[in-house]
Amino acid sequence: MVPTAALAADLAGEGIVGVRVVGRGVDTDLFDSARRSQALRENWGLAPGALACLYVGRMAAEKNLSLVEKSFTAIQQAHPTARMIWVGDGPSAAALRVAHPDHYFAGLRLGEDLAAHYASADLFLFPSLSETYGNVVAEAMASGLTVLAYRSAAAAELVLDGRNGFLVPPGDEAAFVATALRLAASPERLPETGTAARQAILPRSWAAVVQRFESVARDAMN
């Protein structure tokens, strides 16, 4: 059992038979756009109507965080009131704090606090190519957040480009930055895309994933 169709195809290509896609669930009650908080946005230092860009995850080199930096620098030059919000910790956190004193570093967040950080942002920047899945993409989408990511792992599985999020070819940094700039220039589109993202994730609740797991297990026993 594997989390994505792409991984299933890779294993099948290696001659492994009986591979089934089960996917991974997301707590759609916890991660919900209803947790959006104006008070939290004010705490981030956002002016009314300003754009909040978000990264959630481990802060380490393999997450390709330099592309988050490049993308937000481009956004900030065109939209000075925009704010970059980082949630998480890791070996790159200290250097990022030094390099970007104007960014907001929230540290590690859990539970309802984490869910509020997702829901209170506007654009989720996720340039990692090291994921086998990437739970944060599903959590962001469940939170009604527009995701920009490479067409890889969970993003390739969950995001329909231009409908419930935005995808660029893996490794194409110029396309990632250009798309980030385009989205920042049209913030009125983001709530609509975010709503579509949540609707796309609702069928992927843990209850649905458990049901799929049971189905595969029964097939194997039979």
Whole-number Å distance between alpha carbons of 181 and 68: 12
Residue 134's identity, in one-letter code, is G
Rounded Cα gap, residues 186 and 173, in angstroms: 20
**Both structure tokens of 29:** 């009650």
pLDDT, mean over the chain: 95
For 26-203, CATH gives 3.40.50.2000
For 135-147, the pLDDT digits (tens) are 999 999 999 999 9
Task: Determine the average pLDDT of the residues in 156-170.
Answer: 96
Helix axes 65-78, 173-185, angle to 10 degrees: 40
Q: Grade residue 23 by pLDDT with cuts at 50, 70 and 90.
A: confident
Q: Give the DSSP H or E segment for 148.
A: strand 146-150
Yes or no: say if 87 and 106 are a contact pair by the CB < 8 Å rule. Answer: yes
What is the mean pLDDT of the segment spanning 64-88? 98
Q: Rounded to whole angstroms, how far apart are CA atoms 58 and 146?
A: 20
The verdict on pTM exceeding 0.85 is yes
Cα–Cα distance between 220 and 176 in angstroms, integer?
42
- How does pLDDT run across 171-220, given as a tens digit for each residue? 999 999 999 999 999 999 999 999 999 999 998 888 889 999 999 999 99
Type of residue found at 78 = A
Please state the domain extents for the chain: 1-25+205-222, 26-203
Q: Give me the pLDDT at residue 133, please.
A: 86
Query: Cβ contacts of residue 200 below 8 Å, gap of 6+?
Result: 141, 158, 160, 164
Q: Do 131 and 60 form a contact (C-beta atoms < 8 A)? A: no
Give bridge partners of residue 55 from the DSSP assignment.
86
pLDDT at residue 39 above 90? yes
Q: Please determine, for residue 5, whether its predicted confidence score (pLDDT) is greater than 90.
A: no
